[in-house]
């Protein structure tokens, strides 16, 4: 039985906005990763480890995993704490 994880990807540290963080990703876990003796890179004969499926909602991803009989682990996103600041606050202290 295949195992996968379902999560919302983190935003890139190079972006300040929250674009492209509303999609849920189903990503298969790699089976038997080995080290390439020539270059030292991690490699595997499992091509499903390269596959990432995008879903518009968590329910769609769960339904797909259940339909295809995939063991899954859900990683819930952490909520950001947003502190509203004013530019004037820099000069008031």
Q: pLDDT tens digit string along 53-85? A: 999 999 999 999 999 999 999 999 888 787 888
Return d(Cα 33, Cα 50) in angstroms, integer: 12
- Reported confidence tier of residue 1, pLDDT bands at 50, 70, 90: low
pLDDT tens digit sequence for 35-50? 878 888 877 777 887 8
Handedness of CA 13, 55, 7, 75 (dihedral sign): positive
* CA–CA–CA angle 43, 55, 70 (5° rounding): 55
Sketch out the chain's domains with CATH numbers: 3-11+21-92 (3.30.160)
Task: Indicate whether 92 pLDDT > 90.
Answer: no
Q: Look at residue 83 in the predicted model and tell me its pLDDT.
A: 82
Q: Tell whether the model's pLDDT for residue 93 goes beyond 90.
A: no
Contact of 27 with 52, CB cutoff 8 Å: yes
Contacts 24+ apart (CB under 8 A), 44-48: 48/2
């Amino acid at each position: 039985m295949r195992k996968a994880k379902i999560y919302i990807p983190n935003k890139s540290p190079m972006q300040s906005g929250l674009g492209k963080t509303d999609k849920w990703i189903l990503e298969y876990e790699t089976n038997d990763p080995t080290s390439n003796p020539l270059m030292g890179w991690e490699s595997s004969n499992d091509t499903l480890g390269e596959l990432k499926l995008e879903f518009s909602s968590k329910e769609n991803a769960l339904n797909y995993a259940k339909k295809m009989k995939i063991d899954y682990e859900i990683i819930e996103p952490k909520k950001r704490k947003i502190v509203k600041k004013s530019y004037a606050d820099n000069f008031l202290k």
